[in-house]
Chains A and B, each alone.
Chain A
């Protein structure tokens, strides 16, 4: 117990030194600011949708009514387009990347004939759950204009949690997290090791009571701090997508640990900034492309299976599951195994490398 506390104490001392030292470094500060800017930019683009003037609606016509709803541009410039679904289940499935699901009730024709204002059940995604009153008002006005008569769109408790296998923004958010966390890790963490090697201060550290493992733990702590700034900010901004917080936090820790390990590994092997640039590009491609391709459902099953072996794909899947429902334990555990094995592998390699240079 004492040894563990001693190790944590030494790692904490090294970690805090690295955090403060990196903050004094102009290029580290610039990298952090760039990454924070990227997170905020993608949030603005994805969640606030500043340029989005279109609303896509999936319509399930329960009673095969005579009403024909067509693509309409409202007076405020917003265009509403419609896709049909044959059942409520299909409507939910087809709602990926759409804004609203709408059910036309069985008695809609009679209600319209009687001149009463019809009530339509609207369905929105989990991420929009805090905006129900505002969305109801918006859709009431919009559909009243589209149908040229007063209409009530009721959202109430019609909140859809995306299925684990469904497409949608939750997949994109999980992918963005891969990008944010690994970019931060590769932009900042290798410098923590590279500088110590280039200035030979690593020798001074290793001659002190700090062991190679404690030095690495210290660097990992500093790396976690920087990942917390960008990845944590992203997690907070996109928090409305999250359904299972336990899984989301576990996935985030997985992202952080694996990214830190990769960052330290790069820092342990490379010898110059030039090499770092080259490795960064190669690793970003290797980490970012598999989860991007995995989002494409038309890929051959064999290729999709291979993509699941990539830790970045497994991490993105775990985060996507935390924003979904109906996750199969087998799916979740297979991803957990890939992530844990990858973390153990990269940290094992880092410790091996530092020990080797140490002796």
Chain B
């Protein structure tokens, strides 16, 4: 069984087609990089795959659950780290995690496990409002891991973090995949995608314009030259932005 199976998924916002008939599959234990410029439809896709948003058409199965009809059974099978740091600031990291552990009916010992996993045990009793962005991001990852989800969605998990913390977070993500967790990752950092992802998909104007391993993309589009994933990304995406720029 595939961890994620997407078929012709489409989402319209009034007249705007944010996601335009995308199809792909993700294997269990795979880190799947989902890359695209701003407004390409990455977050909309994540919101659909996590059951937060209904697709206009098409279908998708995540961890064996239909994202429309099996939404309630999907919830305990997925973890999500959102693109914003949505965390209760007046509570400590531990209080935040205990709250969600109770919702997921997870034992309190698990809270200490995930705190240790993201390296937050020492500061776990401090209020979140005293944390740096990096610490908040660790707590968000810990929250998403509490119930040991089969598929973890990470929406730009290292955005705005300094190099040290970003590296730590990448280490955590790689470790999760080694342990067999499927990771669906969006990021603007091509180096990060290259380093972490088993396969990447480039999304542009709601459509997948390329999907392969980073190595195959680089060799396939490099045409004998040494190109980085970022070079390929710039070559294949940003058409919408270019058109907007030309129209100015």
Residues of A within 8 A of B (CB): 10, 13-14, 17, 21, 24-25, 199-201, 203-211, 358-359
Contact = CB atoms under 8 A, between A and B. Distances in A.
Contacts, number: 56
A209 B103 contact: yes
5 contacts: A199-B86, A201-B88, A203-B52, A203-B82, A207-B52
A25 B103 contact: no
A291 to B, nearest CB: 36
B103 A13 contact: yes
Contacts of A200: 82, 84, 86
Interface size class of B (residues with CB under 8 A): 20 to 34
Given A21-B88, A359-B54, 17 more contacts: A10-B103, A13-B103, A14-B103, A17-B99, A21-B90, A21-B91, A199-B86, A199-B88, A199-B89, A200-B82, A203-B52, A205-B103, A207-B50, A207-B75, A209-B104, A209-B105, A359-B52
B166 interface: no
A54 to B, nearest CB: 50
Contacts of A205: 103
A237 B207 CA distance: 66
Contacts of A10: 103
Main SS at interface, chain B: loop
Interface in B79-109: 80, 82, 84, 86-91, 99-100, 102-105
Nearest to B50: A207
A206 B52 CA distance: 8
Contacts of B53: 359
A144 B104 CA distance: 75
Main SS at interface, chain A: helix
Interface of B: 50-54, 72, 75-76, 78, 80, 82, 84, 86-91, 99-100, 102-105, 143
B19 to A, nearest CB: 15
Given A10-B103, A207-B50, A201 B86 contact: yes
A209 B86 contact: no
A211 B88 CA distance: 19
- When A and B form their complex, which 8 residue pairs have the shortest distance between CB atoms, in order from nearest? A200-B86, A24-B90, A208-B103, A13-B102, A201-B86, A359-B54, A200-B84, A204-B86
A211 B99 CA distance: 15
Contacts of A204: 80, 82, 86-87, 100, 143
Nearest to B51: A207
A14 B100 CA distance: 9
Contacts of B52: 203, 206-207, 358-359
A201 B99 contact: no
Nearest to A21: B90
Nearest to A200: B86
Contact of B75 (A14, A203, A208, A359): A208
Contacts of B80: 204, 207
Most buried by A among B87, B91, B99, B105: B99
B90 A208 contact: no
B91 A203 contact: no
A211 B90 CA distance: 24
Contact of A201 (B51, B76, B87): B87
Nearest to A208: B103
A201 to B, nearest CB: 5
A359 B67 CA distance: 11
Contacts of B86: 199-201, 203-204
Contacts of A358: 52
Contact of A211 (B72, B76, B91, B100): B72
B125 to A, nearest CB: 14
